[in-house]
Amino acid sequence: EVEFELAEGADVSTLIQDVVKRYPQTAEMLKGATKGNLILLDSVEIGNLSGVATRLSEDSEVVFVPVTHGG
């Protein structure tokens, strides 16, 4: 669990950029964030909201879940 302080009106895209700045090793994983990850904002998948343009509130909880497939 990591906390970020973002400017008012920040969206999921802004958070992704800040995560990559703080943790450069996540850049490849988050490069196509919506293609390789399930992103939940307050337990709702962001695809059901406004995608990466979904605005965050002060107490938003964002969860990145890497998607893996096997066979």
Please spell the DSSP secondary structure of 29-68, one letter per residue. HHTTHHHHEEEEETTEEGGGTTGGGPBP-TT--EEEEE--
Better-scored residue on pLDDT, 31 or 44 = 44
pLDDT at 5: 94
* Span 37-57, average pLDDT: 95
Q: What is the mean pLDDT of the chain?
A: 91
pLDDT reported for residue 71: 64
Say what the pTM is: 0.85
Handedness of CA 31, 33, 37, 43 (dihedral sign): positive
